[in-house]
Structure 1
């Protein structure tokens, strides 16, 4: 790897140690099927991941990656292959179990929370994958996520914004029930309809609707549901997720998995993310989160 000045989004040695085994296993498996197995890889996996994290964190276009990273075409190629191979979901699952154990929880959750967020899309997103959220007056896509009680991601589904919460939630809950058989309880808001409650029961999951307190105004933390709202706040620290820039919904889901992987790796190693609030920055320069 060529020596270069580090970016704030770069992996530390401790965080790289957490994710390196999965990426190295992926490369070894692919090289075992290649005809040129004996030729050394052209790009360092850590630098590839650093470049992908740079895009996720800063929100820049792939073609605008700094020149001290590998060529952007190669970086995007790895990103696409890792998404297709489920590597980002695998990393998210591994680190989530480690964080849960660190917090004194069983590695398999029994309770979860579902919520949806509509976001605007960029001009590069195909119109066929967009929709209109009439309630929030947003043209774009909808991110439905299912988290455990710590706010850690269990499942994500990106759809057109016009898809009803219960419809997306049904697919999401089915996926979560298959991947996490230990789930027995789920909390949702009032936007989810009664047929969703009945469907959850068929999966062996008790669904409860948690409403805002009558007369509450402004931001009010809602019992049980506040954890998933906090997760959306974490995701917004990654500028690539402030608006949906991805051409395909499954690429958007990969960016969300990546953001959560970055967050959990920092939590496990006790590292914080540099933001404009950090008083240790030289000359007190403001760097937006």
Structure 2
């Protein structure tokens, strides 16, 4: 895990450039646009305060908005996950996934999609992260913080089935998913296994098979743009999560 922003290397650019339209002539270099977006992700800078030597913030945001709308970030994320799994000798698609949620504060200037997680006393939004056994993010969702984990995760099942492929056999999660979400998975012949810490335990306790998703949540602290939610739209919030995982996968290439 590197803590400092660095521009894309040639090998990293080669891994993601096939997903971008490089055939038409453009005013701005797409490689530079990606570098600026990753700089924003790492440093938490504001769109309107981009350094003067870089393209105008409106031009950079135009591409960010286009790529989040057409699913480019999701496709890049899935492809890099597959490459990294194959790099360590695993099948391209996972057979086991882990799910958990993270409640984060929302910028005080934003009132859209805001709620309060009474359990964690967080006024903001809740992230649902689905990772494989080595912590790679495959599916993400963001919603108001006062929405329960299990019912909110049902909407992720379609994406889980689409991205994980036919190899998926089991999903691990805590007690909050052991209900409607587990029942919905069973309709697709996917097992759900509850993995929770003992009720008598105090503080953080690593739980077998599920601690990897906690580690993935901890990795978000290395990216200032997502330590707090600054986005007006939920789709933007989800896109930054995928970009964080993309950055992690690129560092391993």
Q: TM-score range by the shorter chain?
A: over 0.9
What stretches of structure 1 move > 6 A for 4+ residues in a row?
Answer: none
* SS across alignment from 1:146: strand
Residue equivalent to 2:233: 248
Structure 2 counterparts to residues 33-182 of structure 1, below 5 A: 40-125=25-110, 127-182=111-166
What TM-score do you get using the length of structure 1 for normalisation?
0.82
1:11 aligns with 2:8: yes
Are the equivalent residues in 1 in contact too, given 2:68–2:239 (CA < 8 A)? Answer: yes
Q: CA deviation at 1:173?
A: 2.4
Residue equivalent to 2:185: 200
Are the equivalent residues in 1 in contact too, given 2:172–2:193 (CA < 8 A)? Answer: yes
Larger radius of gyration: 1
Name the CA distance, whole Å, in 2 between partners of 1:90 and 1:181: 14
Name the CA distance, whole Å, in 2 between partners of 1:44 and 1:203: 44
Q: CA deviation at 1:160?
A: 0.7
Name the CA distance, whole Å, in 2 between partners of 1:195 and 1:83: 29
String of CA shifts for 1:223-248, please: whole Å, max 9, x gaps: 01111111111122100000001110
Quickly say closer, same or farther: Cα 1:83–1:27, change in 2 above 3 A. Answer: farther
Structure 2 counterparts to residues 248-287 of structure 1, below 5 A: 248-268=233-253
The alignment's C-alpha RMSD in Å is 1.4
* SS across alignment from 1:191: helix
Are the equivalent residues in 1 in contact too, given 2:196–2:207 (CA < 8 A)? Answer: yes
Q: Per chain length, whose mean CA-contact separation is higher, i.e. which structure has more relative contact order (CA < 8 Å, sep 6+)?
A: 2
1:239 aligns with 2:224: yes
Unaligned regions of 5+ residues in structure 1, if any? 1-6, 32-39, 269-289
Name the CA distance, whole Å, in 2 between partners of 1:68 and 1:220: 47
String of CA shifts for 1:127-166, please: whole Å, max 9, x gaps: 2311111111111111001111111111111111111100
What TM-score do you get using the length of structure 2 for normalisation?
0.94
String of CA shifts for 1:13-54, please: whole Å, max 9, x gaps: 22112112212xx343xx4xxxxxxxx310001110111011
